[in-house]
Structure 1
């Protein structure tokens, strides 16, 4: 089965902080967490769940640049962008259509956009 990378984009202009998350409507936040939990449970039950996680915002990133003689650490993301990946799932699906069906479920549950991309398969030995 092919593995798919489902990503949840966030607007870089609205990078969440612990303070801004406290300003969210608690009922709305609870509903989102419940929807994500139900989605994850459905993935597990279907045998499609590989892993998932949320990411800290880009301001916390450190880019390791190995293009010179020695690697150097550069504070910040490797690219400035209007949006960034805030969370992800890696799932297994029979085909792209099934992966898109899973993505539609979580996009609807979260009222969000989800990008779907297949992971590259290992080359034959």
Structure 2
């Protein structure tokens, strides 16, 4: 079963971290990647750029138009994700708890099952 472990970021929380806390998060992600690679559960991870650099294509009268954005009501945003292949939802939740962000108040990991998947041929 494939799951997307999405890191929900609050920029205010990140800004309040000390340099050593930020460094510890980076090291923690490296260790997490090593662990899920060794277990065979790792598929892919991506870190996303700041939403201020995003654009949104949205229909207006049936015509796609490009907008700056995304201008969500919430200040939290998707900062990155891990795609994993695990035996159960329970295992996906166990892995999510190991992501360093999950140990910081104000940050969160959303765990969502993948309903369809097609990989690019490289």
Fold shared by both chains (TM-score > 0.5)? yes
CA distance in 1, matches of 2:13, 2:82: 20
Alignment RMSD (CA, Å) = 2.5
Tell me what 1:47 maps to.
40
Runs of 4 or more above 4 Å deviation = 107-110
- TM-score, normalised to structure 2's length? 0.78
Separation of aligned partners in 2, 1:117 and 1:9: 13
Tell me by how many angstroms 1:78 deviates: 6.0
The count of corresponding residues between Structure 1 and Structure 2 is: 115
Paired with 1:118 and 1:58, the residues of 2 have a C-alpha distance of 24
User: Deviations along 1:78-103, whole A, 9 cap, x unmatched?
Assistant: 63323211121111111101101111
* Gap runs ≥5 in structure 1: none
Q: Residues 79 and 27 (structure 1 numbering): CA distance in 2 closer, same or farther, change over 3 Å? A: closer
